Structure 1
Amino acid sequence: MGFPALRPRKKEVPFIHNPHSGKNTPRYGYGKILADIISTPRYTYGASTLNELKSATREIHSLRSEIIGFCGGDGTLSLDLTRILREWAKTPSLPLPKILYFPTGTRCVVAENLGLMEHSADEFAKRIRYKIDHNLPFETAHLNPLKINDQYGFMYGVGMPASAVQHYYDKADYGCVDGNREYGLEEVLAAASQQVFGGDKAVKPPCRFTCRWDKASRYDGRCPKCGRELQRILGNKRFNQVVVEALWDEIRAKLLFRQSHRLLTKPAYAEIALPDGHEPPFAPYLEYTGIMCSTIESMGNHCRAMPLARQKPDHFMLRCMNLGFWGIVRMLPFLWSGMALPTGHAFDAVVPNLTIKFKDDTVRTIDGDLGTSRCDHLGIGPALEFIVG
């Protein structure tokens, strides 16, 4: 005889955290701290693999919770929402839960669009916990994800977006994981211990060892100074390095009168089929240096490259272009400010769905995660209610 699923009490919130999220940032390990504020150990799920995430979402679905909390970056958000929406699709009569999202990953573009980056994650968690405990109303924002085949995300990119993500990860320098320790739990506990018990023993400063990506293999993944794990150094600094590397490659090509490596502008060959009532590019397998679809305007660092993304309910924005590197540089003021690009430089559309067929297996990115495809069907996902205050 089976027992009915336990239901969390009114003030308990199921919380999913990825132990690997933000591993190369000072926010590494923050998930456990947030879980202690928002939830209880009984309803906290550490999902470090897809199987663990699948198991966690199944159990949370059985709880019929009104709120689900989780933390991470854009990639973790996409994976968590995909599993949550798949589970809730099994019970169409059950309303979707409110989403309580804490941006603690390497890239948090969706959180920037929701205005969640204005306060630290722990301050936000304490404020929401107070509202839960005192039955106060939440401030919320509604946002639709894209549905790409059977996966959900907010940003889809082929060509330049995918090349940028590939290069972002491929040749990133490595550093000791201890380098992010100054904001971690270890330092907080050490400082508290000194304050309570006294003593003049100083906290050991974090290890700052770094090495080039092509030198990391000689250390077998371990820091030669302290023995801790080596990891890629990512974040905004690495993103800026990618832009500078591409710029110098193009400058060298100009000075030496040779072809550049096209680090960011390698073309993709695709046929884009738009729904009736929209004028599509008509030639099959056109060459594109960038295909982007999104339900959010900003692509990070306040770059409003998709200004029409939320113009129409249950629609998303498509922007495709075939500009070289210097053409993109000339268009940067328009891309950053959200202005319409000059006629002939890009094809923009606001559509409810579309299909993209590629000539060959093509790399594309969904919320910063890479994959390959020959054909992608894009539509709009259900409206999600995010708690923002």
Structure 2
Amino acid sequence: MGKIAVIYNPNAGKNKRSPGREKRLMRIFGKRGEWFRTDDRDALNEAVRCCRDGGYEIVAISGGDGTLHQVFSAMVNTYGDGHPLPKVAFLRSGTMNTAAKSIRLKGSAFKTLQTIVDRNEDCKPFKIFRQPLIRVNDYYGFMAGAGVVAYFLEAYYSAKNPGPVHAAAMVTRIVGSTIFRTGYSSTIFRPVRCRLVIDGKRMEHAEYVYILGCTVRELGLGFTPTPRAYERAGHFHLLAGSMTPADLVPKIPALWLGRDIVHPRMYYNGIAAEVVMEPFKEEPWMIDGDIYTTGRPLRFSAGPVVDIIMPI
């Protein structure tokens, strides 16, 4: 039986909307391990240090995509090479839960936690999914990029009630704007000016509408733009180009089905081990839904592989 800890983010989408979720999860968890409520980054860093020093073998995370990115970043940077990372369970509590959906992880947070504590007490083995992370400088997650992927999220988060319905409505509005030639799509599809070096080869272009690296296949809403994410160890699937909304709309079925996209303005579509993006000015970029801004180079590379518990 392994030692269990729970990291609970009260600011995650579902947790924030329904504060009673914490008490319900705590009742399931009981006194089986350590409960960490992480209201801010300092609390998260302290929780991760306690998990490392206490030798916790299983860490269940109650949060969404941004929470997962924050926890994995703290874990990799805190554990270092001298400590193996714990097994991780996703207690889906975010607005979108894109990473969980991409690996076909189903079940509510309550059912998942109950399954984990029961199987752990009965000393039954867990089904494990080995998931590689993507690294961007000292940040870790599953998907990262700049251009439309960051601008879309900026517009998405500005909504009063962000969520899957609103995200789908934004996609529909972009399609309509493209067909009827209104200005909405151009506010999302703005180019990023930068130098891009892929596996040591400098690209000839200086503007990109999208730069996206993923270690998962799905990006959300069922779209599968990076189907080669698991093709080779130590690599991730990279998309970089300047396809316009008019170019992309006819490709929506292919993006949905995970088929290869071929277009003159798709400058790179394949696996990569290391990518360096050097922006010419301050630009927003995102990792797992969290948006940052930088004027300094971003180095994308493959991160460690984490063991994710799949509820049976």
Give the TM-score normalised by the residue count of structure 1. 0.74
Residue of structure 2 in register with 1:298 after alignment: 218
Check conservation: 1:27, 1:104, Cα contact below 8 A.
no
Q: How does 1:154-303 map to 2 (within 5 A)?
A: 154-170=142-158, 172-173=159-160, 233-251=161-179, 253=181, 262-276=186-200, 280-283=202-205, 286-303=206-223
Q: Which residue identity is paired with 1:13?
A: I
8 Å contact 1:14–1:39 — kept in the other structure?
no
Quickly say closer, same or farther: Cα 1:275–1:261, change in 2 above 3 A. Answer: closer
Say if 2:65 and 2:97, in contact at 8 Å, map to a contact too.
yes
Distance across 1 between alignment mates of 2:30 and 2:204: 53
Q: Share of identical aligned residues, percent? A: 24
CA displacement at 1:40 relative to structure 2: 2.8
Contact persistence 1:141–1:387 (CA under 8 A): yes
Is residue 279 of structure 2 the alignment partner of residue 351 of structure 1? no
Equivalent position SS for 2:84: coil
In the TM superposition, what whole-angstrom CA distance separates every residue of 1:39-79 from its partner, at most 9, and x where no partner exists? 53861010010111111111121101111111110001000
Aligned residue number for residue 142 of structure 1: 130
Q: 1:47 to 1:24 in 2, by over 3 A?
A: closer
Sort the Cα spacing of 1:376 and 1:314 in 2 relative to 1 into closer, same or farther, 3 A.
same
Residues 154-175 of structure 1 deviation map (CA, whole Å, 9 limit, x = unaligned): 11121111111011012x13xx
1:301-341 deviation per Cα after TM superposition (whole angstroms, max 9, x unaligned): 22111011111011101101211111111111111111111
Q: Is the 8 A contact 1:303 1:338 kept in 2?
A: yes
Relative distance call for 1:381 and 1:350 in structure 2 (3 A) is: same
State the Cα distance separating 1:381 from its structure 2 match: 1.0
1:312 corresponding residue in structure 2: 232
Among candidates 25, 32, 35, match of residue 44 of structure 1: 35
- How many residues in Structure 1 have an aligned counterpart in Structure 2? 309
1:88 pairs with one of 57, 79, 84: 79
How far is 1:11 from its partner?
5.5
Q: Tell me, in whole angstroms, the C-alpha distance in 1 between the residues paired with 2:85 and 2:39.
A: 24
| Residue 253 of structure 1, CA deviation | 3.6
- Give the letter for the 1:113 counterpart: S
Question: Using a 3 Å threshold, how does the CA distance of structure 1 residues 380 and 248 change in structure 2: closer, same or farther?
Answer: same
1:44 and 1:25 map into 2 onto residues whose CA distance is: 18
Q: For the structure 1 residues 23 and 100, does the alpha-carbon distance in structure 2 shift closer, same or farther, using more than 3 Å as the test? A: closer
Distance 1:29 1:154, change over 3 A: farther
Partners of 2:8 and 2:36 within 8 A in 1? yes
Contact 1:16–1:44, Cα closer than 8 Å, also in 2: yes
Cα distance in 1 for residues equivalent to 2:134 and 2:285: 14
Contact 1:274 1:280 in 2 (8 A): yes
The match for 2:86 is 97
Shift of 1:94: 2.4
Q: What is the TM-score of this pair, normalised by structure 2? A: 0.92
> Which residue of structure 2 aligns with residue 203 of structure 1?
none
Does the alignment pair 1:112 with 2:104?
no
Residues 103 and 216 of structure 2 are in contact (CA less than 8 Å); yes or no, is this contact kept in structure 1?
A: no
Q: Which whole-Å CA distance do the structure 1 matches of 2:20 and 2:128 have between them?
A: 26
Q: Secondary structure at the match of 2:194?
A: strand
Distance 2:27 2:64 in 1: 19
Contact 2:92 2:108 (8 Å CA) reproduced: no
- Superposed, 1:369-388 pairs within 5 Å as 369-374=290-295, 375-388=297-310
Contact kept in structure 1, 2:64 and 2:92, CA below 8 Å: yes
Q: 1:60 to 1:327 in 2, by over 3 A?
A: same
RMSD: 2.1
- Contact 1:246/1:263, CA 8 A, preserved across alignment: no
Structure 2 vs 1, CA of residues 304 and 244 (structure 1 numbering), >3 Å: closer, same or farther? closer
User: Does residue 325 of the first structure (1) align with residue 245 of the second (2)?
Assistant: yes
1:386 and 1:366 map into 2 onto residues whose CA distance is 19
CA distance in 1, matches of 2:104, 2:254: 23
Structure 1 residue 96: Cα displacement = 1.6
CA contact 1:103–1:116 (8 Å) conserved in 2: no
1:25/1:235 contact within 8 Å kept: no
CA contact (8 A) 1:24 1:234 kept: no
The answer (yes or no) to whether the contact 1:306–1:338 under 8 Å persists in 2 is yes
Per residue, is there more strand in 1 or in 2?
Answer: 2
SS at match of 1:299: coil
Who is 2:121 aligned against?
A: 133
- Partner Cα distance (2:245, 2:3) in 1: 51
For 2:273, the aligned partner's letter is: P
- SS of the residue aligned with 1:105? coil
